[in-house]
């Protein structure tokens, strides 16, 4: 595949990824015609899809489309189609719908590509019908080259509307996302996960002041002079001195008072 085309397809799939939530492996609905045509041209359909979408793919076929292949009675093509995952469309096999009707009913649910299918179809009518549904990547064979259609107008409109909404939500109206803090968070890359334990960073949290070691002893002595010293910002040397003197005097006082009467 040419480099330029590969790049544009990659870009296009990014749009489907971001605005229409496509995820790998991409589910590719193939119609009966592209299976027959690629087989006739000895073109490997699945490899071609992988190359075009540049991703893992899951080829799928509806019951009605495989019924159309049974009708060709080409055993090789039937065997190939049987390797694809069957998409149940709930159209009874005996009253199989046309591939156009079947694919439309499977892809377009309530006006959107609910299951995020890529459609690989050789029928221009199928593609033009599904172009009206936003977000349906479409692939077909152009002679011997597999190509992807450019984004349809409906897809383009919807994705540009979405981009604009995202932009405004982030810049001008942070409340639009529900919680005030949600808008800036959305802008962060999704893989930037927080490691380690939850809660505030312990380094940024102000340490709780440990109770002073002297406290219990101070409490034990429980003299009025001590408690007043605790609150004051007096340097320790001075404090000691004042403490000593006050304590001493206190002790002397207290010893004097009781001793006085006893000695007498
Ligand atoms: Zn069907």
* Domain spanning 3-157: CATH superfamily: 5'-nuclease (3.40.50.1010)
Q: How far is CA 152 from the centre of its chain?
A: 26
CA of 24 to the centre of ligand 1 (A): 24
Which pLDDT score, from 0 to 100, does residue 254 have? 46
> In the structure, what pLDDT confidence band is assigned to residue 191 with cuts at 50, 70 and 90?
low
d(CA 20, CA 115): 10
CA of 65 to the centre of ligand 1 (A): 7
**Contact assessment for residue 34 and residue 127, using Cβ atoms and an 8 Å cutoff:** no
Domain ranges of the chain: 3-157
User: Is the overall model pTM greater than 0.85, yes or no?
Assistant: no
**Contact assessment for residue 219 and residue 201, using Cβ atoms and an 8 Å cutoff:** no
Nearest Cα residue to 136 out of 112, 160, 105, 158:
112
Q: What is the pLDDT of residues 212-232, one digit of tens each?
A: 665 444 444 444 444 444 444
Which residues lie near ion ligand 1 (Cβ < 5 Å)?
62, 64, 89, 91, 97, 102
Summary mean pLDDT of the chain = 80
CA of 100 to the centre of ligand 1 (A): 9
């Amino acid at each position: 595949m040419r480099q330029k085309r590969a790049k544009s397809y990659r870009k296009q799939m990014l749009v489907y990824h971001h605005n229409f939530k496509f995820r790998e492996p991409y589910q590719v609905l193939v119609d009966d015609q592209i299976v027959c045509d690629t087989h006739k041209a000895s073109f490997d359909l699945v490899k071609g899809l992988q190359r075009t979408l540049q991703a893992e793919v899951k080829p799928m076929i509806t019951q009605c489309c495989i019924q159309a292949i049974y009708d060709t009675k080409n055993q090789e093509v039937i065997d190939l189609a049987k390797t694809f995952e069957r998409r149940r469309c709930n159209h009874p096999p005996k009253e199989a719908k046309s591939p156009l009707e079947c694919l439309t009913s499977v892809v377009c649910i309530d006006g959107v590509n609910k299951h995020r299918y890529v459609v690989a179809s050789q029928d221009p009518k199928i593609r033009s019908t599904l172009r009206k549904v936003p977000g349906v990547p479409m692939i077909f064979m152009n002679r011997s080259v597999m190509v992807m259609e450019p984004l349809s107008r409906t897809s383009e409109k919807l994705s540009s509307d979405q981009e604009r909404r995202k932009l405004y939500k982030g810049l001008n109206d942070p409340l639009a996302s529900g919680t005030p803090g949600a808008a800036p968070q959305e802008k962060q890359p999704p893989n930037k996960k927080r490691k380690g334990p939850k809660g505030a960073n312990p380094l940024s949290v102000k340490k709780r002041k440990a109770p002073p070691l002297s406290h219990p002893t101070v409490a034990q002595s429980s003299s009025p002079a001590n408690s007043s010293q605790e609150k004051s910002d007096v340097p320790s040397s001075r404090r000691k001195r004042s403490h000593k003197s006050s304590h001493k005097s206190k002790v002397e006082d207290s010893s004097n008072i009781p001793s006085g009467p006893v000695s007498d």
